């Protein structure tokens, strides 16, 4: 929601106050140990080597004070490193030290189907996968995760995911914070379900599959109850909703604005000051937040039923390099409207009746996902307009291999969050997108399009297409 609307809404203001008052009582109450400082994932900078080496491995982590949970991660126990990429050649190697097949899908990288890491590119236990990639895209915050059909939800849940920064090295000229973990924070939001012993569990019931599995604790970068410590200046937050199903509506408890500067696929043309921001599974945003008042705001979610996501604290001894939010940005959004050669209907379906009768009822255009079926073929280099419908609930819709623009949502112009380049967005009842399909995907390694509620995806709300 844009700033003016929000401030004029007394209900929302009340909710923010309520959030503050009820903070310690919420189910997500943080700060058992408020002095714990939020850590960033380790950095894996590929810019000088042109090489990227990941290993999917098992681990164990005690997330809360209680028992340890068996986990999985890339190069570590849980989650993976933050990878920095620049345009050019990238020789990747992904090894699998687990006992089950995994894949490494680069969600948001514009690479051909054979490099995409889809369910058609499983890495067997003990094997490795070596895509020789070429990166050529605008700076963006993208991510990677395992994508084995019917196993994606569980594998991501236990840790097989990480963030990627595609950078062109010009952020200093843009006046953007760029010191990793100092004024440029990477935040992976994940809710997880913990049992009484403090173990993270994944045991979705039929209702969980229906609604998507939501947790009872919130982790940021795999940590519960940590505080982000930042300099007294402008801070950049790169936020990934890495949850299986939870949709966040983020806001600060003191109503300070969040300046949206980038969406999934790149920068905007100018920052948009927002008071609330909806972020569905798979989506990323980059925000600039002014911390120069030295305050200690809490990032919250859901004005209607507020809960804490991440408390902030200022450390004035940290270098504050940026003092103001730039007025203009250099994102190039282009205008695809009018050049489409094809329109398609995509209906995201979950049939209650089908579920009751034992079939799961999750489908797109009446057909559950089938690895052996190509749903349609796109002509490479052409523009298409897709009309997407959600049934029963709003579904976060994602397409591999492209970035798209949202033309409309329920017949109206898109929300501010959806005005930039996107690869994933929440489809209310219906929406239209437009994209040019430049990257190729052959029959053997097609691109996926699916709901990013991972339980829905695994249950069949996914399809696949070629680009030739």
* Residue 105: CB minimum distance to ligand C2O, A: 5
- Residue 220, burial from CB neighbour count under 10 angstroms (0-12, 13-18, 19+): buried
Strand 82-85 to 105-107 pairing: unpaired
- Residue 318 has, within 13 A of its CA and on its CB side, a CA count of 23
Residue 145 makes contact with Cu ion by CB under 5 A? no
Interacting positions 389-418 with ligand C2O (CB under 6 A): 398, 400
Q: What is the DSSP letter of 15?
A: H
* Residue 330: CB minimum distance to Cu ion, A: 25
| Binding map of ligand C2O across residues 80-119, x = CB under 6 A, - = no contact | -------------------------x-x------------
Residue 120's binding partner among Cu ion, ligand C2O, none (Cβ under 5 to 8 angstroms by kind) is none
Q: Which two tokens stand for residue 433?
A: 């997108």
* Residue 147: CB minimum distance to Cu ion, A: 7
Residue 403 makes contact with Cu ion by CB under 5 A? no
In this complex, which beta carbon is closest to ligand C2O, that of residue 165 or of residue 259?
165
Q: For ligand C2O, which residue has the nearest CB? A: 107
In this complex, which beta carbon is closest to ligand C2O, that of residue 143 or of residue 312?
143
Contact segment (CB under 6 A) with ligand C2O among 49-57, 182-190, 221-229, 445-453 equals 445-453
| Options 453, 459, 462, 467; binder of Cu ion; rule CB under 5 A | 453
3-state secondary structure of 445: coil
Lateral strand order in the sheet of 447-451: 376-378, 462-467, 447-451, 395-399, 424-427
* Residue 61: CB minimum distance to ligand C2O, A: 23
Residue 259's binding partner among ligand C2O, Cu ion, none (Cβ under 5 to 8 angstroms by kind) is none
Print burial letters for 176-195: b (CB count within 10 Å at least 16), e (below 16). bbbebbbbbbbbbbbbbbbe
- Residue 96, burial from CB neighbour count under 10 angstroms (0-12, 13-18, 19+): buried
Cα maximum dimension of the chain: 62
Q: Which of 318, 383, 325, 392 is nearest to 355 (CA)?
A: 392
Cα Rg for the chain, rounded, in angstroms?
21
Contact segment (CB under 6 A) with ligand C2O among 95-103, 352-360, 374-382, 447-455 equals 447-455
Please tell me the distance from the alpha carbon of residue 180 to that of residue 178, in angstroms, as a whole number. 6
In this complex, which beta carbon is closest to ligand C2O, that of residue 112 or of residue 233?
112
* SS3 per-residue string spanning 105-133: EEECCCCCHHHCCCCCCCECCCCEECCEE
Residues across the chain: 468
| Options 235, 285, 320, 448; binder of ligand C2O; rule CB under 6 A | 448
Please tell me the distance from the alpha carbon of residue 4 to that of residue 139, in angstroms, as a whole number. 29
Residue 451's binding partner among ligand C2O, Cu ion, none (Cβ under 5 to 8 angstroms by kind) is Cu ion
Residue 453's binding partner among ligand C2O, Cu ion, none (Cβ under 5 to 8 angstroms by kind) is Cu ion
Residue 400 makes contact with Cu ion by CB under 5 A? yes
Contact segment (CB under 6 A) with ligand C2O among 9-17, 225-233, 426-434, 448-456 equals 448-456
* Residue 20, C-beta contacts closer than 8 angstroms, at least 6 positions apart: 253, 298
- Count of C-beta atoms within a 10 Å radius of residue 391: 15
Residue 395's binding partner among ligand C2O, Cu ion, none (Cβ under 5 to 8 angstroms by kind) is Cu ion
Interacting positions 115-174 with ligand C2O (CB under 6 A): 145, 147
| Binding map of Cu ion across residues 358-397, x = CB under 5 A, - = no contact | -------------------------------------x--
Residue 153 makes contact with Cu ion by CB under 5 A? no
Residue 282 makes contact with ligand C2O by CB under 6 A? yes
In this complex, which beta carbon is closest to Cu ion, that of residue 140 or of residue 451?
451
Residue 165's binding partner among Cu ion, ligand C2O, none (Cβ under 5 to 8 angstroms by kind) is none
3-state secondary structure of 19: helix
Contacts with Cu ion by CB under 5 A lie at 107, 395, 400, 451, 453, 456
Contacts with ligand C2O by CB under 6 A lie at 105, 107, 145, 147, 282, 398, 400, 448, 450, 452
């Amino acid at each position: 929601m844009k700033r003016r609307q929000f401030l004029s809404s007394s209900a929302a203001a009340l909710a923010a106050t309520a959030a503050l008052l009820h903070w310690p009582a919420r189910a997500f109450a943080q700060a058992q140990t408020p002095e714990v400082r939020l850590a960033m994932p380790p950095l894996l900078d590929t810019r000088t080597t042109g090489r990227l080496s990941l290993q999917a491995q098992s681990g164990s982590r005690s997330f809360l004070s209680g028992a340890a949970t068996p986990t999985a991660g890339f190069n570590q126990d849980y989650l993976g490193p933050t990878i920095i990429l620049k345009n050019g050649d990238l020789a990747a190697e992904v090894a699998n030290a687990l006992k089950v097949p995994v894949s490494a899908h680069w969600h948001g990288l514009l690479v051909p189907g054979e490099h995409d890491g889809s369910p058609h590119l499983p890495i067997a236990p003990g094997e490795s996968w070596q895509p020789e990639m070429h990166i050529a895209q605008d700076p963006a915050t993208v991510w990677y995760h395992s994508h084995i059909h019917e196993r994606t939800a569980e594998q991501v849940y236990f840790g097989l995911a990480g963030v990627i920064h595609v950078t062109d090295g010009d952020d200093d000229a843009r006046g953007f914070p760029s010191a990793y973990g100092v004024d440029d924070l990477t935040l992976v939001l994940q809710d997880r379900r913990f049992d009484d012993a403090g173990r993270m569990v994944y045991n979705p019931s039929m209702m969980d599959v229906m609604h998507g599995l939501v947790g009872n604790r919130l982790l940021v970068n795999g940590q519960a109850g940590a505080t982000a410590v930042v300099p007294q200046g402008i801070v950049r937050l790169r936020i990934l909703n890495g949850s299986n199903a939870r949709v966040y509506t983020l806001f600060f408890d003191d109503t300070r604005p969040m300046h949206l500067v980038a969406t999934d696929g790149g920068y905007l043309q100018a920052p948009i000051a927002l008071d609330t921001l909806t972020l569905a599974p798979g989506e990323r945003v980059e925000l600039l937040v002014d911390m120069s008042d030295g305050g200690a705001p809490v990032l919250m979610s859901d004005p209607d039923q507020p809960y804490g996501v991440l408390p902030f604290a200022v450390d004035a001894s940290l270098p504050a390099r940026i003092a103001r939010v730039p007025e203009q940005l250099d994102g190039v959004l282009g205008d695809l409207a009018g050049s489409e050669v094809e329109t398609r209907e995509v209906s995201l379906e979950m049939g209650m009746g089908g579920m009751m009768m034992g079939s799961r009822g999750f489908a797109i255009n009446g057909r559950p996902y089938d690895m052996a079926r190509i749903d349609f073929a796109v002509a490479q280099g052409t523009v298409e307009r897709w009309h997407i419908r959600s049934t029963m609930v709003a579904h976060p819709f994602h397409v591999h291999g492209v970035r798209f623009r949202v033309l409309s949502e329920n017949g109206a112009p898109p929300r501010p969050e959806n005005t930039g380049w996107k690869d994933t967005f929440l489809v209310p009842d219906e929406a239209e997108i437009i994209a040019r399909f430049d990257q190729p995907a052959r029959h053997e390694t097609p691109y996926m399009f699916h709901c990013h509620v991972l339980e829905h995806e695994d249950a069949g709300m996914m399809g696949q297409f070629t680009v030739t």
